[in-house]
Amino acid sequence: MSIAWQARTRSGTETVPHGWTVRRVGDLIALTNGFPFPSESFGPTGDIPLVRIRDLGDAPFETFVSGRVPVSALVRNGDVIIGMDGDFNLAIWRKGEAALNQRLCALRPRPDVDIRFIAYFLPSSLKIINDLTFSTTVKHLSSTDVLSERIALPPLPEQRRIADFLDAETARIDRLIAASQRQSDSMSERLTEFLRQMTTTAGDRVTMPTGIAWMPAMAAGWRLLKIGRSFTSGSGTTPRSSESAYFGGEHNWVNTGDLRDRVIERPNKTVTDRALAEYPTLKIYAPGSLVVAMYGATTGRVGILGVPACVNQACCVLSELGPLDSQYAFFWFRAHREELLKLASGGGQPNISQDLVRSLRIPAPCRSVQQEVVRRAIDLETVTARQKAYQKRRADLLAERRQALITAAVTGQFDVSTAGGRNVTEGITA
């Protein structure tokens, strides 16, 4: 059954241009399913790269396979690869010969078919199938779903003209999107460098050594303050997850996922009075406390409590004792996260301990100057956030234009032989 084609037909959005024919995808391509390679043949090195769903992007291969690879499981540049779990992503393969793992399939064209046209047309059909597929866990696509789909196909010369046009125009839009991302990244780097300077040397030419290899200098006249003497430190715990009476109460419960380098106003989870009564380590910390992530992928990220909250065991909470302003320390942590990760222990994911956090030393002026640094940092962060939001809106609009252009071209809504790309980005400023 052609799920996407039927959905389009029912909605009245599918029309067939003159000279085009409705064809079954299975009549246009040859489909090869991936091979169930044994996991013991996997490794970080090996005879040939292994294509998994996560490898459909531009990132380098993480897994290789050793041993015999069936010829049918080899993919080459130009093949169309579809991930058959999750979002049903599609890509034209351009990363060289590789072994195709199970839960992916490869498409190759039959005569009189330009595979690029198929690759531009199919993603919208796959999205419709995904949207209409019910699942409580991961959604699955079958080979039959792909082969039974129908598309309106123009003659081969027109397929090529459309594919050539889209290759050129989507590449141009992709360059503009990449430029927006580079500008956004540059803004983030500029903010981080500003924070690094303002919490170490303040941009002064006159400095003094700190004795710390990864933070060698600070402004002359500043003091090097140890966190363990400037803050009290604490943590929390996780109540037994099988006991529902502990969760969903009126007390905010911060986990490391809530630490996004900003003020924490609405943590994702809460706990009850009973949880606090039965777990004494679930202490409520005051607003203004600084929270540092100690474990996992978020290690080194920070947040300032905007509301009273307790935390789980992966968080270290710092409460002011006097010499260091918690917001000043917040910006110092953000500026030096990469260096802190190098001090962390652990294999796959780095961890830091409360002892490590307490041992850190922060260059600091007097409190009034710390507060001026905080004010300037907040001002620049506000401007940076506004500029980054603009770049994101621009990239999102370009992505929408890109998809609209593809849809219009592969459904024959305009003649690409007389179209130009000059209007593709009209209304989107640099």
In whole angstroms, give the CA distance from residue 351 to residue 257.
Answer: 15
Q: Please tell me the CATH superfamily of domain 3-153, with its number.
A: DNA methylase specificity domains (3.90.220.20)
- Could you tell me the two tokens for 103? 């839960």
In whole angstroms, give the CA distance from residue 130 to residue 140.
Answer: 8
Residues with Cβ within 8 Å of residue 227, at least 6 apart in sequence: 233, 318, 324, 329, 357, 358, 359, 360, 361, 362
Residue 129, H or E segment: helix 115-132
In whole angstroms, give the CA distance from residue 10 to residue 154.
Answer: 22
Helix (H, G, I), strand (E, B) or coil at 122: helix
Contact indicator for 317, 235 with CB cutoff of 8 Å? yes
What single DSSP character describes residue 286? Answer: P
The conformational region for residue 261 under phi > 0 = left, psi -120 to 50 = alpha, else beta, is left
Stated pTM of the model: 0.83
What single DSSP character describes residue 82? Answer: E
Q: Which CATH number fits domain 223-364: 3.90.220.20, 3.40.50.2000, 3.30.70.580, 3.30.450.70?
A: 3.90.220.20
Contact indicator for 352, 340 with CB cutoff of 8 Å? yes
Closest by CA to 82, choosing from 126, 137, 128, 144, is 126
Closest by CA to 120, choosing from 74, 87, 169, 72, is 169
In whole angstroms, give the CA distance from residue 261 to residue 357.
Answer: 17
- Could you tell me the two tokens for 404? 């609209």
Neighbours of 340 (CB within 10 A): 18
Which part of the chain has CATH 3.90.220.20?
Answer: 3-153, 223-364
Helices (H), 238-314: 273-278
- pLDDT in tens for each of the 430 residues of the chain? 688 888 888 877 678 899 999 999 999 999 999 999 999 999 999 999 999 999 998 889 999 999 889 999 999 999 999 999 999 999 999 999 999 999 999 999 999 999 999 999 999 999 999 999 887 788 999 999 999 999 999 999 999 999 999 999 999 999 999 999 999 999 999 999 999 999 999 988 899 999 999 999 999 999 999 999 999 999 999 999 999 999 999 999 999 999 999 999 999 999 999 999 999 999 999 999 999 999 988 999 999 999 999 999 999 999 999 899 999 999 999 999 999 999 987 656 789 999 999 999 999 999 999 999 999 999 999 999 999 999 999 999 999 999 999 999 999 999 998 876 545 555 554 4
